């Protein structure tokens, strides 16, 4: 294939291939590279041929530095350092291993941003511009921006481009912490929170149906900004999770029809989806396939390509679909968006990440995108059927019956083309979500969601015995299978086109094996040998069921499922005492103190606190510690001490050991004279 053809198909990848081949050819004369690699790959080095000898010297100097330091700064200085380092065997041996592991092509592709032939990633010229234009066409956007440091940064780009202090932002309480950072801490906007659902298994659900009613939204505005409650378009932006971490998918058409006239823009945070428009039965949930007019909101979509699409970690993209409002005062032009983009982008990009985004778009182009995602849906359905056939305690999170017949009795082809097999029908016990409307949400077929024993499906209450999902997750990790996430009695696996039935059959076999170990009440040392070895004194003589019982009893004693639910209900939201940005500034100024969790009750949070995953804040800076949030973290603290080896990752709070016990500490705002009387009354 000719170079010009490669630029058309993979503009960024083709530039990397061209420049990378050239750089490999000239680096054979580099002293640094020769000292390291000649003993390892003499025949390969001898075979390299220069292709552009006229600029050979500058590339030699640059590459000799980059091979050692993986950097492009201060070329002459780093080259000298690299040559000196090459005389040390202590340095040579690790580098040989490093290079052998990743392969030469990775290092050849790590180009300098000063190389004008590669185009410009910040102002979008050359190959990067062509690649992003192609991606916009594939994903049905007006404009697409490739982002190299994750959707956390993509969200901040969008939020910093639109929001300013005093702007109202309609805010899904399920939003990832990056949205709090961008909208509330950085931009200083005022949030209007929407309550969301949790079910007894620990799954993250969607926003309640009543939250999309205009009268209700105007009531919420009157609570935080009464003077703006009657404005025609009170919200500068709404930030909604198009798909929750746990696979609850929204209907984008419904969202726009319900609240679009109240918002200048809607940001659909699609970190956990992005493939919906390539699956025919999911097309209605895609914001990028909507037909829009001048009265609709502008649409912005952020996607984590590295999650279930095809990209290295940190690859993300922003899709902008707002040409229908161009010329209106609310319109955000490219220059303004790119100003925010450049604030969050590195001036030293890693080109392989950018090339991966380019290739991802090509993979999704035309019929190939639809075919590969349909294969993924089919494999996911067949995997669920296998689990239902081979497991008795672990169950896929899908309806038990469809029109009176078992879900698994229908042909896979029929299930893969009809959303009724995935709908959350209001009132049905199998999902236990409350507050949903008909046809509002459905289960993402590309999220393999499983439940473990311990919850009565009909009542939603704890049973006498249960299997917390973290125990199953640790068993799977012991056997080489890493789940994406687990919580209470739920576990999640992400399905991608890379999965085949062989992988999924391996998973099902492990699930069936775990059930046999559970029924046999196998010794814990056999089921979880790593945890047992690390904490043998604590778990000596334990069996699998004994551990399950203790953890299940802990959940039931604290009613953790109810605490999770309450934290995201409006009636239990922590009270707001300060604007989140003001609270963050107080933290930066040191106007805070670190206190034990019980002492935080009634005090203003200086940091947002959350378990990770899923990265959803339970308390926001400026809110008051107390109520369900404080009890939830207290339950986690007890679990950390009672059951070592199963501690969750907590952010925004700090685990410190005192007198042989681990304690949760957090930063709170130091009280001011004007706040003292208020805080004395804030015992939630």
From 177, 307, 320, 324, active-site residue = 307
Give the whole-angstrom CA distance, residue 486 versus residue 384. 18
Residue 24's H or E segment, with its range, is: helix 11-26
- Identify any residues that bridge with 490 across adjacent strands, giving them in sequence order: 451, 487
Closest CA to 354 of 569, 119, 535: 119
* Cα three-residue angle 660-661-662, rounded to 5 degrees: 130
- Identify any residues that bridge with 120 across adjacent strands, giving them in sequence order: 125
Q: Is the peptide bond before 613 cis (omega within 30 degrees of 0)?
A: yes
* Cα three-residue angle 379-381-387, rounded to 5 degrees: 100
Backbone angles phi, psi at 387, to 5 degrees: -65, -45
Closest CA to 158 of 36, 277, 266: 266
Respond yes or no: is residue 269 known to be catalytic.
Answer: yes
Per DSSP, the residues of 276-306 read: GGGSGGGGGG-GGG----TTSPEEEEEEEHH
CA end-to-end span of the chain, whole Å? Answer: 69
* Cα three-residue angle 83-86-87, rounded to 5 degrees: 105
Per DSSP, the residues of 50-74 read: -S-GGGHHHHHHHHHHHHHHS--SS
Q: 10 Å Cβ neighbour count for 288?
A: 21
From 208, 246, 269, 444, active-site residue = 269
Respond yes or no: is residue 176 known to be catalytic.
Answer: yes
669, 578 contact by CB (below 8 A): yes
Q: 10 Å Cβ neighbour count for 613?
A: 16
- Identify any residues that bridge with 656 across adjacent strands, giving them in sequence order: 663
From 156, 176, 177, 561, active-site residue = 176
Q: Which residues contact 177 (CB under 8 A, 6 or more apart)?
A: 152, 608, 610, 615, 616, 617, 651
How many residues in total does the chain contain?
684
| Residues taking part in catalysis | 176, 269, 307
């Amino acid at each position: 294939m000719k170079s010009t053809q490669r630029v058309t198909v993979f503009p960024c990848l083709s530039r990397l291939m061209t420049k990378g081949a050239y750089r490999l050819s000239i680096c054979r004369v580099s002293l640094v590279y020769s000292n390291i690699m000649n003993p390892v790959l003499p025949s390969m080095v001898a075979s390299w041929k220069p292709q552009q000898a006229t600029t050979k010297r500058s590339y030699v100097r640059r590459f000799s530095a980059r091979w050692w330091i993986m950097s492009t700064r201060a070329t002459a200085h780093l080259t000298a350092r690299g040559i000196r380092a090459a005389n040390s065997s202590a340095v040579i041996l690790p580098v040989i291993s490093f290079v052998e592991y990743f392969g030469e092509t990775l290092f050849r592709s790590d180009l300098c941003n000063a190389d004008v032939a590669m185009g410009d990633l910040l102002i979008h010229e050359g190959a990067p511009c062509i690649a992003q234009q192609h991606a916009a066409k594939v994903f049905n956007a007006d404009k697409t921006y490739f982002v190299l440091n994750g959707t956390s940064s993509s969200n901040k780009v969008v939020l910093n481009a639109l929001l300013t202090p005093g702007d109202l932002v309609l805010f899904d309480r399920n939003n990832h912490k990056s949205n709090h950072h961008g909208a509330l801490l950085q931009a200083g906007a005022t949030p209007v929170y929407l309550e969301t659902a949790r079910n007894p298994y620990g799954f993250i659900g969607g926003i309640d149906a009543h939250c999309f009613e205009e009268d209700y939204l105007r009531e919420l505005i009157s609570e935080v900004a009464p003077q703006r409650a009657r404005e025609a378009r009170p919200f500068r932006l709404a930030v909604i999770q198009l798909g929750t971490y746990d696979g609850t998918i929204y209907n984008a058409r419904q969202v726009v029809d319900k609240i679009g006239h109240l918002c200048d823009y809607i940001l659909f945070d699609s970190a956990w989806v992005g493939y919906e428009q390539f699956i025919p039965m999911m097309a209605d949930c895609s914001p990028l396939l909507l037909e829009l007019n001048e009265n609709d909101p502008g649409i912005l979509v952020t996607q984590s390509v590295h999650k279930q699409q095809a990209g290295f970690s940190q690859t993300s993209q922003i899709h902008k679909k707002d040409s229908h409002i161009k010329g209106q005062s609310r319109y955000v032009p490219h220059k303004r968006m790119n100003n925010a983009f450049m604030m969050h982008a590195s001036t030293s990009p890693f080109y392989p990440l950018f090339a991966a985004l380019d290739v991802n778009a090509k993979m999704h182009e035309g019929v190939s995108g639809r075919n590969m995602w349909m294969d993924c849906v089919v494999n996911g359905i067949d995997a669920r059927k296998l689990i239902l056939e081979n497991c008795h305690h672990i169950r896929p999170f899908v309806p038990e019956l469809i029109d009176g017949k078992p879900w698994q009795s229908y042909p896979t082809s029929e299930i893969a083309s009809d959303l009724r097999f995935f709908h959350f029908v209001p009132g049905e016990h199998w999902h236990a979500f409350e507050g949903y409307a008909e046809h509002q949400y459905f289960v993402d077929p590309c999220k393999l969601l499983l439940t473990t024993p311990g919850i009565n499906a009909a009542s939603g209450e704890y049973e006498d015995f249960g299997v917390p999902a973290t125990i199953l997750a640790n068993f799977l990790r012991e056997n080489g299978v890493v789940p994406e996430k687990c919580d209470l009695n739920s576990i999640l696996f992400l399905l991608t086109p890379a999965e085949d039935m062989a992988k999924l059959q391996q998973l099902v076999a492990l699930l069936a094996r775990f059930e046999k170990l559970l029924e046999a009440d196998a010794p814990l040392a056999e089921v979880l040998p790593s945890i047992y070895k690390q904490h043998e004194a604590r778990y000596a003589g334990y069996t699998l069921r004994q551990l399950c019982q203790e953890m299940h009893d802990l959940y039931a004693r604290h009613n953790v499922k109810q605490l999770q639910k309450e934290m995201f209900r409006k009636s239990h939201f922590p009270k707001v005492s300060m604007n989140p940005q003001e609270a963050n500034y107080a933290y930066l100024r040191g106007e805070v103190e670190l206190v034990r969790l019980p002492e935080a009750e009634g005090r203003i949070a200086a940091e947002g606190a959350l378990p990770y995953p899923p990265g959803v804040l339970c308390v926001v800076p400026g809110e008051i510690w107390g109520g369900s949030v404080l009890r939830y973290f207290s339950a986690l603290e007890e679990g950390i001490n009672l059951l070592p080896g199963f501690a969750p990752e907590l952010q925004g709070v700090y685990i410190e050991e005192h007198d042989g016990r681990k304690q949760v500490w957090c930063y709170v705002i130091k009280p001011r004279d004007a706040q003292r009387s208020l805080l004395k009354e804030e015992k939630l």
